[in-house]
Amino acid sequence: MRKMLLFFLFCLAPCLCGAQDIRVYFSPNGGCQQAVISEIRKATQTIDIAMYYLSSRDIAQALAKAQENNVRVRIVLDQGQEIESASKSGYLIKHGLEVRYHMGFGLMHNKFAVVDGRSLITGSFNWTLTAEERNEENLLVISDPQTIEKYQERFDYLWNTSRLDSRNARGLEAFPAWFCATFHFFCSS
């Protein structure tokens, strides 16, 4: 009996050590948005997000609620989101979330979030209503610590190389600060 138990432990140990939970979702209407909101609601400490396009009202409201519940929410968006009318960046800033914009020449095309260092949300799914209802998209929710650590490192790099919103949470400027600094004749003093 003891040999049999040792044999099973020897055979199962590699499987158990590498065990991880990966949940898979597809859109349209495959539960991607609800999976994102569910993970946001589970957060107790931090949510770090690198997102190309964030215009979902429901996700933005869940993030604002997390902030109200003392969860630190940091978001890096593509710089086009600063002036995009459908973007929820202004809403998020007004609700106290920390929002920065990517400074690189190309698109900040990442789509991921790290929740409490225990959960990773990633895939092609932009956090938009169109992605949920019309587009062919995918979303993974991963709990593998090594994978999460790599994504957290990437988020930290993006965060440290991005800039603050030019509106200072007021949403008053018609042009972003970088535009005014370059083309000052378009901006009032």
Q: Which residues are catalytic?
A: 109, 111, 116
Q: Output the 3-class SS for 37-84.
A: HHHHHHCCCEEEEEECCECCHHHHHHHHHHHHCCCEEEEEECHHHHCC
Amino acid residing at 135: N
CA distances for 177 relative to 3, 34, 51, 90, angstroms: 71, 35, 21, 15
Q: What does DSSP assign to residue 118?
A: T
d(C-alpha 99, C-alpha 92), whole Å: 8
Please name which of 130, 122, 119, 129 lies closest in space to residue 58, comparing C-alpha atoms. Answer: 129
Q: Which two tokens stand for residue 149?
A: 């650590």
Q: Is the dihedral of CA 130, 133, 136, 139 positive or negative?
A: positive
Place of tokens 């990442």: 110
